[in-house]
Amino acid sequence: MLFYRYKDVIEEGDIVMVYIGRQQMKLVNVTLGEVINTRYGHFEHDKMVGKKYGDQMVGAKGYGFIYLLHPTPELWTVSLPHRTQIVYTPDSSYVIQRLNIGPGSRVIEAGTGSASFTHSFARTLGDQGKLFTYEFHEVRCNEARKELERHGLLAVNTTITHRDVCQDGFEIQGEDIRGDAVFLDLPAPWTAIPHLKHVISKEMATGICCFSPCIEQVDKTVAALQEEGWTDIEMVEVMGRRWEARKDMVRDISDVVKRLKDIQARKTQGIEGRRVVKLQSETATPEPNVSYDSGNKRPASTEEDQQKQSESESKEVSPSQQPPSKFQNLGKGFNPFGKGIRVREGDESYAWTQVTKIESDVKSHTSYLTFARNIPTKKQPEENV
């Protein structure tokens, strides 16, 4: 199964992105008899067959779980083995949009590296497009070739070449490249720019993007682009921020007023209760001297004492005069916003509205993107003499 084709049900031989945790994902080829061992248990490949992409899979012993996700260039970017610095999704998505790359485009990529951006290009180009990617480091080139072949990209629209394009150029024997978009992720892109005129399209405008981490590289790249006749030169820096979409509780001014009145009433009730307790303690009379029966430890009582006790018990005591118990649960009173209690987002007992929130911190710098365009000049027909 290919990276840029989608399907619902997993079959033997398919590629599955196994989501183990937020910081751990693993790409596997479904092979009968194989097992994935994780800290949450082991998971058999046989049981993946027949499941749908996106399903949760429980471990063989009934505990622990993983998610079976469809492979995409974005997921591959965050899980691939790093051989070099890679181009992350915020940069790669902007480059593809800015260079107007789509199905049927012909793209030249120099600096395959870990093949992160290569997967994004291949997915975007589709069956009719063509990607020519170059890597000067032989070991990295061979590793990238194995991954691209395993993911099914070499069989459709991708050609990888071991070449130092800064010295030897981009031409491939037997290939008519005619690139309409160029991406250079090189230490010295200004040395490769002069070779591009032999492989870019002569019938349509060609866009270029040079990925450079240092501003000094940008300066030299711009000079080389101007010397080779490229126009519309512009440098861009992409700074990523996350947007959070969530529900927020609707707060009304009338509810606020009711809440404040409730707090004031409960405060007054507490002050009054403490005042009653203090008055009762101040007016309490000391117990008179009492005598005890010789046969027990209880004080001897007279008929007059028993009569007074029965009369006092028969009197109804006003609730307001009763001191509040120290451990009495008074509740939370009027609480329209769930303050102090855990409220599930979207709880129907409360009113909600959709809101968005942006991160306060901007992600750190990755690289500068230098864009330019090459407009081919049409040859004027010779006038008949």
Which alpha helices (DSSP H) does the chain contain, by range? 73-79, 89-98, 116-125, 138-150, 165-168, 215-227, 253-283, 303-314
Distance CA 318, CA 157 (A): 90
Distance CA 148, CA 78 (A): 17
Residue at token pair 């005042």: 275
Distance CA 221, CA 369 (A): 11
- Residues contributing to the annotated binding site for S-adenosyl-L-methionine: 135, 164, 185
- Residues contributing to the annotated binding site: 135, 164, 185
The answer to whether the beta carbons of residues 151 and 142 sit under 8 Å apart is no
Q: Give me the phi and psi of 335, to 5 degrees please.
A: -140, 85
The answer to whether the beta carbons of residues 101 and 124 sit under 8 Å apart is yes
Pairing type for strands 181-184 and 206-212 reads parallel
Amino acid sitting at position 5: R
Q: List Cβ neighbours of 84 (8 Å cut-off, separation of 6 or more).
A: 111, 113, 114, 140
Q: List Cβ neighbours of 63 (8 Å cut-off, separation of 6 or more).
A: 40, 41
